[in-house]
Structure 1
Amino acid sequence: MENQQTSDETAEKFTWTIKNFSKLSSKLYSENFFIGGHPWRILMFPKGNNVDYLLSIYLDAGDSANLPYGWSRFAKFKLSLINKVNSNMKKTKETEHEFNARENDWGFTAFMPLHEILDPSTGFIVDDTCIIEAEIFVTKLEHENQVDQAAKTDTVTPVSTQVNAVSDNPSPKEMSSTSLGELMDFRGLGKIEQAFVPLLEEVCSRHPSLIECQQKRSRRFIEWAFAALGRVLHFLKTKKVKDMNDALFMHLQILWKELETFKFDLTWLEPHVQSALGMKSYMERAAEVKKMKDNVVAREMEIKRLKTKITAAEIDLEIAKRELMKAEEGFEERDLDGELGYEA
């Protein structure tokens, strides 16, 4: 493991080599590795966690069954699938989460399509072996105010999937052109991703209650809340109707469920989110309609082609008839079976 440290953060990398990937079917844990004085491990679903054709990867808080009451670690982390042919082509997603006894794993349900991983030309699997890397920046939270703990207990419900309550927090890189390192102050409330701030400024000016309802929270809680709101706003602002495939539909569902836990008044935003979520059905219907339109157009073109061919054939027939009439002028048909004969 590579190790870098600052006064309040620990950054380390752990590499997990997985052999016989094609033979794996159920979830798989890596060995434990220690960062920030605590054991961690990587959790992988090689066939997807309640999703088809996707690789799911999460960071797990190690010995979760024996975590003490009140234990928590805030971590910014990256999960990467290493490209064994070209190291510059590795697939990386990053996010952040406060791990605790109730929410002890966090990561990406839709990390990467399986067909891309299994394609030999991509370089992610060589000799049926792949490598996953975890890079973690860990901050130990000092009882960050009992107000914050009460807020989380009373208002924040973990966003979980159906298998072992594995939470999915989509990568900021999927939602924003800025990384977690590009932060700026938002109205003195906390540091928020730079791309989200103009969007937050706009909606908070129109809906002052967004700020009012968070003013009694801790700085950390407020940052999480407005980061969650910013992710949804940025999604709606940057995604187009044509982009709404299954992966983005699931992504927006997760972002919206996460945002709802912070108890904003979102009556103004919900119709837009539901409309975006409805785009999946719309896109499916649009694809069906387009297929039928293409079928009609193809048949019309075929009919047009056949009509053109018939017209050309009719012209050829008329020409052939005229040529026959000319050839028959002065021509007397004879019995071809008759004798030629002769006079004696």
Structure 2
Amino acid sequence: MELLLYILQFALHLMFAGGLWLLVKPLIEQHLWQWGKKIDLRMNLRMTLFGKKVSRVKKKMWLYRHLDNLLYFVHRKYEPGISVMRFAIRSVMLFTAVFLSGLLTLRELPGRMSFNNPFLEGIVLNDGAPVDGAWRLPLFLAVLSASIPYLRMRYTYAQRKVRGSYDLLDVIKIATKFTHLSADSILSKTSDLLAADNVLKSPLKLLSAAFANYSNEHELNEEAGRFAGAIGTTFAVEFVSDLLYCEKEGTRYLKNSLMMLNRSMEQQRETILTVKASSRDAISLGLYGNLIVLVSSVGTFMYMLKPDVYFKLQFETSVGLTFMMVIITGMFISFLISTILARPKLDYH
């Protein structure tokens, strides 16, 4: 009961920190927007001025470019520079809130714990001085919490890459109807006609702006390469190459090229669907089989040992915790592999 009160206290500290953030956020929003714009302008200026030395600039700003490329494909309302600053500020605020909340809570915990027979009493909290080195656990929780937005973004990015490889087929079908227009107009019209749930709608709009407003060829190639790299398929590279050729030489051969690309993607999609149908049972077993086995095994042990004894052995012994982490890690890896196999990218291979 006492432990639940400490958990509740920690949650209240987090709610207080969240309320403060909501009060401060409107005050810094305008400054954040201006700061993000300045950073993006400086990055583009360096890319333009350094030319062949652009790799040196990328190495210095690798973290910014990494986050920017992820948000470019994940954030539906992506804004160059601004989205990165917002993500960084939110991660820092989350880290600070969890760390301070955990530190304030642990300062009030008793300083000594006695470990008795796990089948009878378990852990007993004794009165005493504050815990020594109380910053270690809050720091660990803060780092873990601050990494969750990034891990969530990476997972979403991986999912959207796969989905984007299929959504590109819709883009090519629509773009074929506007090959009499310039490249930026083709992209703009296509983006407007795409469904709202198409993951390429926003990146296509940004690519259209790049074709309409680029100052040199290197800048256009960078933006086109980012679009193709976000999808990560050979079909995307072909589509971007056709657009770049169209920008230089005109739209004379664009319609035929897009129609051939559309035909190749349709054939590859049929092949993927056929292979997927033949291996559906094995994929489903990898997704849900381990979970079913785990639930049935845990249920059997709980029935045999009684729930209170099972929980003490599982969570209050080093062997139980070690095996639990190994099992969870194995299930996570199996789930990732099965998820990848369940819907592979729409690519040549």
- TM-score, scaled to structure 1: 0.24
Relative contact order: is structure 1 or structure 2 higher (C-alpha 8 Å, sep ≥ 6)? 2
- Higher helix fraction (1 or 2): 2
